[in-house]
A and B are shown apart, each in its own frame.
Chain A
Amino acid sequence: MSTDVGIWVGALMTIAVFSYLFSENEFYKAVEHIYVGAAAGYSIVLGFSNVVTKGWQPLVEGRQFQVLIPVAMGLMLFAPYAGTQYNWMRRIPISFIVGIGAGITIRSVVIEQFVKQLSATILPFNSVNNVIIVLGTLAVLSYFFFTFKPSRALKTSAEVGKWIIMITFGASFGNAVMGRISLLIGRIDFMFREWIHLIKL
Chain B
Amino acid sequence: MDVLMKLGDIDKRVLYVLLVLVLLIPMVRPIGIRISISHWTTKAYEQLSRLEPGDTVICDFGYNVDGAPDVEPIAKAIFRDLFDRNIKIITVSLNAQGPMIAEKLLLPYEESGKVYGTDFCNLGFMAGGETALAAYARDLKRTFPRDWRGNTTSTLPILQGITGAPDTKAWIFFTDSSAEAWVRQVGDLDVPMIGAVITVAAPQAEPFVHSGQLSGLLTGLRSAAEYEIVTNRPGGAVAAMDAQSLGHILITIFIVFGNISYFVKRSKELAGREGVQ
A25 touches B (CB below 8 Å): no
- Report yes or no: A177 in contact with B251, Cβ–Cβ below 8 A: yes
Give the chain B neighbours of A131 by CB distance below 8 A: none
**Is there contact, CB below 8 Å, between A42 and B97?**
yes
For residue A188, CB closer than 8 A to chain B, the reply is: yes
Whether the Cβ atoms of B131 and A185 lie closer than 8 Å is no
Interface members, chain A 111-126 (any B CB < 8 Å): 111-113, 116-117, 119-120
Task: List, in ascending order, chain B residues with CB within 8 A of A75's CB.
Answer: none
A112 touches B184 (CB 8 A): yes
Q: Are B220 and A182 in contact (CB under 8 A)?
A: yes
Q: Name A177's contact: one of B129, B239, B248 (CB within 8 Å).
A: B248
Main secondary structure of the interface of A (DSSP, over half): helix
User: Which residues of B are interface residues toward A (Cβ below 8 A)?
Assistant: 13, 16, 19-20, 23-24, 27-28, 30, 66-70, 72, 96-97, 100, 125-127, 129-131, 134, 145-146, 150, 180, 183-185, 187-188, 198-203, 207, 210-213, 219-222, 236, 239-240, 243-244, 247-248, 251
State which of A54, A105, A111, A183 has its C-beta within 8 Å of the C-beta of B145. A54
Q: Could you tell me if A104 and B130 are in contact, using CB atoms closer than 8 angstroms?
A: yes
Q: Which chain B residues lie closer than 8 Å to A109 at the CB level?
A: 184
Question: Do most interface residues of chain B lie in helix, strand or loop, or is the interface mixed?
Answer: helix
Known: A53-B150, A108-B185, A182-B69. A192 touches B96 (CB 8 A): no
Contact A189 B236 (CB under 8 A): yes
Q: List 25 A-B contacts (CB under 8 A).
A: A42-B96, A50-B126, A104-B130, A105-B184, A108-B185, A111-B187, A112-B183, A113-B183, A117-B207, A120-B207, A175-B202, A175-B219, A176-B199, A179-B198, A179-B200, A181-B23, A181-B243, A181-B244, A181-B248, A182-B69, A184-B23, A185-B221, A185-B247, A187-B69, A201-B30
Q: Decide: B199 and A179 in contact? CB cutoff 8 A.
A: yes
Complex Cα spacing A105 to B180, Å: 10
Interfacial residues, chain A to chain B (CB-CB below 8 A): 21-22, 42-43, 46-47, 50, 53-54, 57-58, 62, 97, 100-101, 104-105, 108-109, 111-113, 116-117, 119-120, 133, 168, 171-172, 175-179, 181-189, 192-193, 198-199, 201
Chain A residues with CB under 8 A of B19: 184
A178 with B248: in contact, given A53-B146, A188-B27 (CB under 8 Å)? yes
